[in-house]
Structure 1
Amino acid sequence: MRTRLARLGLVTLWPWMTLVVAGCASPPAAPPEAPPQAQACPAGVPAGARCLRGQDSASAHYLIVVPAQWSGVLVVHAHGGPTLGPPSAKRNDEDIQRWAITVREGHAWAGSVFRQGGFAVTTAAEDTERVRRIFVDHVAKPRRTLLHGQSWGGMVATRAAELFPKSWDGILLTSAVVAGPATYDFRVDLRAIYQHLCNNHPRPDEPAYPLPIGLPADSKLTAADLAQRATDCLGTGRPAAQRTAEQAQKLKTIATVLKIPESSVAGHLNYATFTFRDITQKNGGVSPFGNAGVRYAGSADDAALNAGVPRFQADPSAVARFAADTDHRGRFAAPVLTAHGVGDATVFVEGSDTLRQRMVAAGNGGRLVQTFVDSSEHSYWGDAMYPPLFEALLAWVDQGRAPSPAGIADRCRQLRAAQPADCRFLPAFVPQPLATRVVPR
């Protein structure tokens, strides 16, 4: 069983890292960065804004957008994903189109595409810090700098916040991965239960492999192939009325045991295949995930399910490496404001409780305010929801008084007086521990 210390990578890596840091008189000087170049703004950017692009010294593409009437606030954005394959500058265009509300609020926006494709958190955190430095060195010196992590970018942001504590005045985390590697354990459970029920990923005539590795490195399986296999077994690619009774029962079993909507099963299966393969490749060919000792509940016959589900042990070296790259310890020097949809089926809201526990344990409980949203949406809740978050975080930074969830909800309705229903904050909501949603291991 993996202990909490092992999951955090403290046993194997943190002492070594501490010795290295202690033995260095000062960190190495960062290489100089070329100035960004003025470019036409992507579609959706507010009129009058100035857009700058470039590649940093590590080859990461970035985009900077400065509104015509700049507030003096810089928001550095860490995007979600991770995106597999080679990075593309077009990713910036997608991000600013979604987050144009930041610029409409008068704030400058800067985002890196990240130099490594796939699941690489520490290097993404370094790229995030680098685009901040480029802005400061070549564009302007902001009055305040906020770090915004969205989805998987929340994992990047928490890493950047601990690696570069002096860079950020405040941290905003939306729909964020904040519970570390445990966030992904249920996807290993999905692979195991799916294989027990379907036996087609891999098929009996294909080479067997440990399911937590996602796929063998040389596998030619495509996303379309996987979708067809899931449709064959579970009917996921068909309307519910067109599924057979057997397909419907198997799909219900997976959704009930894992406490996820049926509509999310195919997407999670894809992640547990292709993204898990990327994680395995970045961890020396072994997986940090396993399901040894996990007992599943909620099916029509739990005894049969637990007897038949294949079991796998997480590789200890991969556990330590993965945690060292991705995890945080709640040691944030700046105020942290979070928002999360209570019905989010991509990143579970229960992870918010883990963040709270870690920050309290680190003595930083007073630097955390958490808000929750009446939504199952993961990517974007609508323009009404974000201005009160930015406003509350900036007031906290400037005045030293933490906002309240109720105050943020009230302010949202004030700003949206003509359409108050657009504001869906739930001030009284308290998330349950992640262990109520994902079986600990």
Structure 2
Amino acid sequence: MRSMRGRWTALCTLLGLVLATAAPAAAAPGAATAAVATEDGRSYTGTIDGADFRVEVPAQWNGTLVLFSHGYYPPGMQMPPGVALSTHSRTEQWLLEHGYALAASDFTGRTGFVVEDALQDQVAVLDWFDEHVGTPETTVSSGMSMGGGIAAKLSELRPRRFDGVLTVCAEYDFNASWNTALDIAYVIRTLLAPGQDIDLVEARDPARSTELLLAAIDEATTTELGRARLALAGAIGNVPGWYSTPDPEPTDLGARLRQQLDWIRYAYVMGLGPAGRGDLEARAGGNPSWNTGVNYRRLFAHSARRDLAVQAYGGDRRQLAADLRSLAAAPRISADPQARRAIDELSVRGTTPAPVLTVHNTGDGGALPDQQGWYARQVRRNGDRGDLRQLWVQRGNHCAFSAADEIVALRTLLQRVQTGRWGPTSPSHLNAAVSRFDDRYERVLDFAYQPGWALPPAFTEFRPPRSLRPSF
């Protein structure tokens, strides 16, 4: 199996980091808007209220604008220059060549949980576009990872501004993601580091608490019981045992446990653990995460990863039951009510004022597939289920899509927007459409391996697990 452990680079992969390697450098904060005209069209960069933005308008604009919302950048990370306009630079190239205008804000502050800023900054870019370029005939809100939730929320808040929504590897229930991280860290601290001074929220020394959790993980991997308890943490979080982008889903127990552990380590301890919470808590005005009232025995019973943990315990039901009793008895963590409300208000409601197309990996452990099932239920409650189509690509990792996957998905959405009817969305139809692109567009995104992977089309049928920790 190919190594997928890219340490900090891998962490960024899991959180939906977009490296805008093909984008021109953005204007410095406070700089005047710069415009460059070529035979291919016009390029604009600048700042609005401190947020860098970029707009590309092809010479033969077809009247459609795609507004892109980027994913989560870990606080304090050294960022490359430029404002990304799509998940893939190849996608950006294809869209411009086919007459689509592209726009995006980099969001005020750029890193951290910038959802509230993004919802204002993206509308500011739309206003700028209307004033300086013209009002689009069709506007699509698109986004990846955290940006997928931003894209959907934008259409709910500004229904007259958007005609369609495309989300890629998105999360919509933000508190659910942070609660999953809390649950995983809670299991590790309770079962693998009892008595250690580890702050899971509002950490006095975030780096130290993170180091202690990682040390507990490393120690646990040396024993059969320790590995079983890590699998219990993974089951409580509904974390899949598939991390590798190019490799098939593993069937061997050891490989599944190792790949599940990669998600736990990089996404939920290093990414959304104590060191990642400071920015979230500062923005929310307190700790928005909780496990008060959570029945971990019930969560485990409903987990899609329950059987993996049972196998890891080797059938020792007594030990598993004892560990679940320990989780039930350990001290719990309460959310600050105001902070919880602040994050919940940023999550989507599923009102579908415009058609929505979602694309997700079946083996995504960063933005869990559960989020797609949760969003579909929200649409059934609050929107029109006929306005939603959800597509699945059978790969591990987070946002593991090719430019061709992304382009085919966008064309599928635009057909619905322009005709009022969904065209064919069967895996066979979608895979045939992807296969018609040349090799340049079929390389699958993998931030731990920058060239990406030449992989065959992989749209499939899939039913996501139920969300174990929905916020509402």
TM-score normalised by the chain length of structure 2: 0.72
Contact 1:115 1:123 in 2 (8 A): yes
User: 2: CA distance between counterparts of 1:83 and 1:40?
Assistant: 34
User: 2: CA distance between counterparts of 1:252 and 1:293?
Assistant: 19
In structure 2, the CA distance between the partners of 1:156 and 1:306, relative to structure 1 (3 Å rule), is farther
Give the CA RMSD over aligned residues. Answer: 3.3
Contact 1:79 1:152 in 2 (8 A): yes
Contact 1:409 1:423 in 2 (8 A): no
Deviation at 1:227, TM superposition (A): 6.4
Determine which of 402, 405, 415 is the counterpart of 2:422: 402
Deviation at 1:252, TM superposition (A): 3.3
Q: Name the counterpart of 2:334.
A: 313
Q: What SS does the corresponding residue of 2:273 show, helix, strand or coil? A: helix
User: 1: CA distance between counterparts of 2:82 and 2:344?
Assistant: 26
Q: Is residue 51 from structure 1 mapped to residue 43 from structure 2 by the alignment?
A: yes
How much identity, in percent, do the aligned residues show?
Answer: 23
Q: What SS does the corresponding residue of 2:166 show, helix, strand or coil? A: strand
In structure 2, the CA distance between the partners of 1:91 and 1:345, relative to structure 1 (3 Å rule), is farther
In structure 2, the CA distance between the partners of 1:199 and 1:59, relative to structure 1 (3 Å rule), is same
In structure 2, the CA distance between the partners of 1:124 and 1:49, relative to structure 1 (3 Å rule), is same
Tell me the amino acid that sits aligned with residue 67 of structure 2: V
User: 2: CA distance between counterparts of 1:143 and 1:178?
Assistant: 27
Unpaired segments ≥5 residues, structure 2: 1-29, 240-259, 301-305, 310-318, 443-454
User: 2: CA distance between counterparts of 1:411 and 1:305?
Assistant: 43
Alignment of 1:95-114 (within 5 A): 98-105=88-95, 106=98, 107-114=100-107
Instruction: Decide which moves more: 149-158 or 410-419.
Output: 410-419
In structure 2, the CA distance between the partners of 1:391 and 1:153, relative to structure 1 (3 Å rule), is same
Q: What SS does the corresponding residue of 2:413 show, helix, strand or coil? A: helix
User: 1: CA distance between counterparts of 2:424 and 2:172?
Assistant: 20
User: 1: CA distance between counterparts of 2:156 and 2:188?
Assistant: 37
User: 1: CA distance between counterparts of 2:349 and 2:423?
Assistant: 23
Deviation at 1:231, TM superposition (A): 4.6
Count of residues paired in the alignment = 382
Deviation at 1:179, TM superposition (A): 3.3
Deviation at 1:39, TM superposition (A): 5.7
In structure 2, the CA distance between the partners of 1:365 and 1:143, relative to structure 1 (3 Å rule), is same
User: 2: CA distance between counterparts of 1:381 and 1:255?
Assistant: 24
Determine which of 25, 48, 60 is the counterpart of 2:51: 60
Q: What SS does the corresponding residue of 2:107 show, helix, strand or coil? A: coil
Q: Name the counterpart of 2:164.
A: 170
Tell me the amino acid that sits aligned with residue 316 of structure 1: P
Q: Name the counterpart of 2:457.
A: 423
Contact 1:72 1:144 in 2 (8 A): yes
Tell me the amino acid that sits aligned with residue 237 of structure 2: L
Contact 2:153 2:348 in 1 (8 A): yes
Unpaired segments ≥5 residues, structure 1: 1-32, 42-46
Deviation at 1:381, TM superposition (A): 0.8
Q: Name the counterpart of 1:22.
A: none
Deviations 1:187-242 (A, max 9, x none): 11012111113338xx84x5x64x233x23xx3x44xx666544532229x9x7xx
User: 2: CA distance between counterparts of 1:179 and 1:143?
Assistant: 31
User: 1: CA distance between counterparts of 2:58 and 2:384?
Assistant: 34
Deviation at 1:169, TM superposition (A): 1.0
Runs of 4+ aligned structure 1 residues displaced above 6 Å come to 86-89, 418-421
Q: Name the counterpart of 1:329.
A: 349
User: 1: CA distance between counterparts of 2:430 and 2:176?
Assistant: 34
Tell me the amino acid that sits aligned with residue 38 of structure 1: A
TM-score normalised by the chain length of structure 1: 0.76
Q: Name the counterpart of 2:261.
A: 262
Tell me the amino acid that sits aligned with residue 329 of structure 1: R
Q: What SS does the corresponding residue of 2:296 show, helix, strand or coil? A: coil
Q: Name the counterpart of 1:181.
A: 175
Q: What SS does the corresponding residue of 2:165 show, helix, strand or coil? A: strand
Determine which of 128, 131, 137 is the counterpart of 1:137: 131
Alignment of 1:74-93 (within 5 A): 74-85=65-76, 90=81, 92-93=83-84
Q: Is residue 290 from structure 1 mapped to residue 263 from structure 2 by the alignment?
A: no
User: 2: CA distance between counterparts of 1:35 and 1:135?
Assistant: 15
User: 2: CA distance between counterparts of 1:148 and 1:50?
Assistant: 21
Q: Name the counterpart of 2:201.
A: 212
In structure 2, the CA distance between the partners of 1:439 and 1:181, relative to structure 1 (3 Å rule), is closer
In structure 2, the CA distance between the partners of 1:172 and 1:97, relative to structure 1 (3 Å rule), is closer
Q: Name the counterpart of 1:28.
A: none
User: 1: CA distance between counterparts of 2:471 and 2:433?
Assistant: 42
Instruction: Decide which moves more: 132-141 or 79-88.
Output: 79-88
